[in-house]
Structure 1
Amino acid sequence: MVAKLFKRLRREVRPCVLKFMPYFVMSYYFMEVLYSVVNTPLVGRERAIVMDVNEVFGHLYTAFDVLLTIGAISLILGTRKEASGVTLLLIGRVIHRLFFSIWTVFFYFLFTDSLDVGSLLMLMAAKTTLREQNERPQVGESQYQILLLGGRLCLSSLFIMWLDEGPETFFSIVSLGLLLFITLGFHCKLFAYLAVIALLYHDVFSNHWSMLWGWNDTLLSVQYFSLLFCKIGGLLMLSELGGGKWSIDGFRNRNSVKWERKGSYRIVKSQAAA
């Protein structure tokens, strides 16, 4: 009875997760735009100093970055061309990293961007799934499976960053377990849910809480909250879509289908012989 109720509830919740989590992911990029617009003089001046160029160029680059991100958000949330929107976001991120990365901490930025890419790939997979429920499939099966594989692997960079922080022993074990099971795609949906719980503990209930509301700038605090929503959105979409065909779960499902087919064939054969 409880199992049937849980399955029914999950069937009702799943479309909501796939429908609304893309907005969670995009909230981070929207807050980046809002922060740049509200603090345009400061942001433009800081970027000019980092690039060692005239302040005018810093403001021009800020305007370009804002327009590029707004265009990408509009394509992703307002049209069916989410692939084009994600491409624009990735172009903007690559340009930003080339200009402003601190190369001594290059690998930190690499894993951070990998996490963002994972959320974006899961967003594309979620929108593809929703669209194909009511329309003729527009994305090939192999392309869809690549989205799931890439999204799963990129989201796993979150646990590598946690391990690099050198947390307490128990959380290190949790991080290592989540990294292993989600990377391999073993009970991926279950461990994606557990990853959301671990994320809330890490970002909200541990000593990392200061990264959320420990800023004097309200907009900056809200931006960090939106980054938390972006991570949650990516993991929840993974929990609904699963690891895909190229995972241990997918391999086990293919084997179970083969055995079911063999079993039904033997039953039909024995009935025919009788």
Structure 2
Amino acid sequence: MPHFVMSYYFMEVFYSLVNTPLVGRERAIIMDVNEVFGHFYTIFDVLLTTGAMVLILGSRKEASGVTLLLMGRVVHRLFFSIWTVFFYFLFNDSLDVGSLLMLMAAKIEMRDQKEWPQMAKWKYQLLLLGGRVCLSSLFIMWLDEGLDTFFSISSKVLWFFIIAGFQCKLFAYLTVIALLYHDVFSNHWSMLWGWNDRLLSIQYFSLLFSKIGGFLMLSELGGGKWSIDGLRNRKGSQWEKKGNYRIIKDQTSA
């Protein structure tokens, strides 16, 4: 699933490399600067994203890699945002951040459990909380689209259970199904393969994979400590400890 998330950034780099003259020229026009600066920024963005991917997938410094990606996102958003639809871009970026936070949590989870005492466990739980909240921005974008009544109600139900962290693993799986319906089997399919540029279509497919990867990692890792599921698990473990204590006490008195 981390590779699913990274596929979107890989396709961004690949598209920029294949269409460097076009991408650089377009960015120069948007920023209203000399074309040379547009090409310079494109090269900078490619190197930054490539370095971040190497750190995330090829080393244990995923935090540094994610930080680089977020820095690139902030700069990109400042330069190229259409401010009349700023909140759409904000929620879209929040979705990307959620997938990256879940990626960091998954990388930590995959390590040897012997290394966990050296880590601050609250940081892991914070990643799960932040990832869950940021991924929930997907439902806000869906509600803003004015979808059909059934899908709108389903989105609100999924949003509630994901943000609350109740049966989080189950509803994360259901969100993947809803995501496939929304992006592939509904009238939004044109955003995937309705482009004249084949590379651009592949890039949008990779964005779909990135979103699916984020929610599948959520389905595996769960809502974490700061969720209703986490609260129920803590209460359950407390009752088990109390029950064991009563059994031991009875045996001693006997």
TM-score class normalised by the smaller sequence = over 0.9
Q: Does 1:242 align with 2:222?
A: yes
> What one-letter code is carried by the residue in structure 2 that aligns with 1:90?
L
The one of 142, 146, 150 equivalent to 1:162 is: 142
Residue of structure 2 equivalent to 1:127: 107
Query: How much has 1:263 moved relative to structure 2?
Result: 1.1
Aligned residues: 254
Residue of structure 2 equivalent to 1:209: 189
> What one-letter code is carried by the residue in structure 2 that aligns with 1:248?
I
Tell me, yes or no, if the aligned pair for 1:75 and 1:84 is still in contact at 8 Å.
yes
The one of 238, 241, 248 equivalent to 1:258 is: 238
Residue of structure 1 equivalent to 2:151: 171
Query: How much has 1:270 moved relative to structure 2?
Result: 1.7
Q: Which runs of 4+ in 1 moved over 3 A?
A: 132-138
The residue correspondences of 1:40-119 to structure 2 (distance < 5 A) are 40-119=20-99
What per-residue deviation string (whole Å, max 9, x for no partner) do you get for residues 16-61 of structure 1? xxxxx00000000000001111111110011000000000000000
Q: Secondary structure at the match of 1:131?
A: coil
Residue of structure 2 equivalent to 1:28: 8
What per-residue deviation string (whole Å, max 9, x for no partner) do you get for residues 45-102 of structure 1? 1100000000000000000000000000011011110000000000000000000001
> What one-letter code is carried by the residue in structure 2 that aligns with 1:102?
I
Query: With structure 2 as the length reference, what TM-score do the two structures score?
Result: 0.98
What per-residue deviation string (whole Å, max 9, x for no partner) do you get for residues 136-161 of structure 1? 55431110000000000000000111
Query: How much has 1:132 moved relative to structure 2?
Result: 3.3
Residue of structure 2 equivalent to 1:141: 121
> What one-letter code is carried by the residue in structure 1 that aligns with 2:139?
F
Q: Does 1:152 align with 2:132?
A: yes
Gaps of 5+ in 2: none
Tell me, yes or no, if the aligned pair for 1:128 and 1:139 is still in contact at 8 Å.
no
Q: Matched residues in 1 for 2:114 and 2:247: separation?
A: 36
Residue of structure 2 equivalent to 1:6: none
Q: Matched residues in 2 for 1:272 and 1:99: separation?
A: 72
Q: Secondary structure at the match of 2:110?
A: helix
Tell me, yes or no, if the aligned pair for 1:118 and 1:150 is still in contact at 8 Å.
yes
> What one-letter code is carried by the residue in structure 2 that aligns with 1:273?
S
> What one-letter code is carried by the residue in structure 2 that aligns with 1:241?
L
Query: With structure 1 as the length reference, what TM-score do the two structures score?
Result: 0.91
Query: How much has 1:135 moved relative to structure 2?
Result: 4.0
Residue of structure 2 equivalent to 1:231: 211
Gaps of 5+ in 1: 1-20
